[in-house]
Amino acid sequence: MTNFKKICVLGLGYVGLPTAAIFASRGIQVFGVDTNIKTIETINQGKIHIIEPGLDLLVNKSVSTGRLSANSQPERSDAYIIAVPTPFEKTYKPNLTFIEAAVRSIAPVLQRGALVILESTSPIGTTEKICQWLAEERKDLSLPNKAGDDADIQVSHSPERVLPGNVLKEIINNDRVIGGISSNCARRTEQLYKIVIKGKCLLTTAATAEFIKLSENAYRDVNIAFANELSIVADKVGINIWQAIELANHHPRVNILQPGPGVGGHCIAVDPWFIVDSAPNNTALIQSARKVNDSKPEFIVDKILLAAQKTGARTIACFGLAYKADIDDFRESPALLITASLKKRFDGEVLVVEPNIKKLPDILSQEKGISLCSLNESLKRSQVVALLVDHREFRELDRVLLDKKVIIDTRGVWS
Ligand code: SAJ
């Protein structure tokens, strides 16, 4: 007996929308909430505003059966899932305004027995803050940070762990960490997710769950930084880094990740700073990894410019703009940074090949001497080719077409 009939999902982005649609597909009445009117309209037409395999069909079905609808304000529900962005400021301080606004927006409709779950990746202590914000708004209700298991409202943190591009499968199959403000909160949250997930539910405290999620992404960032640092050394001493890593990984206890043009996306390039924020003087390794990864794009720009200079090239082709393969997501994308910086520093022509878009992003389209180009055309016109994203179209390219080109392969696809 789950007694979750209606749920409200706040934030209909890469995580919130698939989550809402999956719950709706299991017969739960789902109210989606977003601050963007265009997003709301699109979803209510049964369409989607992001690219994620399989999501369009699922949303279409859920909307047409009336199980999913979108609005700008929350409706009274048995559970509220918050999946809004947690950006950081220029100073790398986390910005919790979206979470706070979402929490305060549910306060008026909150009723005794309701469950509030934070899915957004958040600094340690945020779930506790949710209790404080709710207590300020609703003095008539008791919260679990004060009332423990007997509280009127349950509050927990269950961080999303899904990989963009594989979200629908990962929501269902991944194990899920669930951190309750009290143990009752964690158990009730488990009951809700068990409606849709097959993975294990791993119960802990809210602060531990916050810490775990940040640690997972920082772990990845530190390991990618290690690979990126090695790639810079290998470049200096004339060693093929891809072969070196491949051979090193034959060791039973070594698994070096892949170097690249830098680290992008809105998670791994951001979340480590939330750990740093908790202990700025005790996070030398995490801070250093961030710096290594952030410095990689400019290292690549230097390499491309040097290659162009040596060969007298007038046209450079940049292959890929997204932050990783086979998606159209440009958030924190190193490929985008490289292309923008290259255009500023190179006075010849830059051709961008990005099979997942129809027009250049604004940051590039305002520049002169840069254009979006087909793969074939770019191969005809460029002397230098910089592979920045390992999209399928580039992985499958006939290598003969690259003969006579100067190649800067930042992903090891053609090396
Ligand atoms: N990258 C490398 N070398 C590698 C692996 C990745 O340079 O060996 C780069 C990618 O090209 C990309 C960036 O790192 O620019 C991040 O890509 P990713 O595929 O590793 O991860 P994300 O950001 O798409 O998703 C991550 C995932 N976290 C972990 O794998 C620990 C995902 O499970 C999280 O849910 C997501 O962050 C999130 O939302 O926090």
For residue 10, the surrounding DSSP H or E stretch is strand 6-10
Closest approach atom of ligand 1 to CA 264: 15
Per-residue model confidence as pLDDT tens digits over 312-341: 999 999 999 999 998 888 999 999 999 999
Q: Is a pLDDT exceeding 90 seen at residue 51?
A: no
Pairing of strands 315-319, 6-10: unpaired
User: pLDDT: is 12 or 365 the higher one?
Assistant: 12
Token pair of 34 as six digits: 């977003």
Q: Is a pLDDT exceeding 60 seen at residue 48?
A: yes
Residues 6+ apart with CB under 8 A from 152: 112, 113, 141, 142, 143
Task: Judge whether 267 counts as a catalytic residue.
Answer: yes
Q: Is a pLDDT exceeding 50 seen at residue 385?
A: yes
Average pLDDT rounded to a whole number, residues 189-201: 97
Distance (Å) of CA 126 to CA 10, 52, 309: 16, 29, 51
Per-residue model confidence as pLDDT tens digits over 198-213: 999 999 999 999 999 9
pLDDT at 91: 84
Average pLDDT rounded to a whole number, residues 107-111: 98
Token pair of 222 as six digits: 């530190």
In short, whether 389's Cβ falls inside 6 Å of ligand 1 is no
User: Whole-prediction pTM value?
Assistant: 0.94
pLDDT at 44: 98
Helix/strand/coil percent split, the chain, to 5? 45, 15, 40
Average pLDDT rounded to a whole number, residues 245-255: 98
Instruction: Give per-residue burial for 231-269: e unless 16+ CB within 10 Å, then b.
Output: beebeeeeeebbeebeeeeeeeeeebebbbbbbbbbbbb
Ligand 1 centroid distance, CA of 9 (Å):
24
Closest approach atom of ligand 1 to CA 217: 31
Alpha helices, DSSP H only, in 26-137?
A: 37-44, 55-64, 97-106, 126-137
For a ligand 1 pocket test, name from 15, 162, 163 the mutation site with the most ligand atoms within 8 angstroms of its C-beta.
163
Q: Is a pLDDT exceeding 70 seen at residue 156?
A: yes
The radius of gyration of the chain from alpha carbons, rounded to an integer in Å, stands at 23
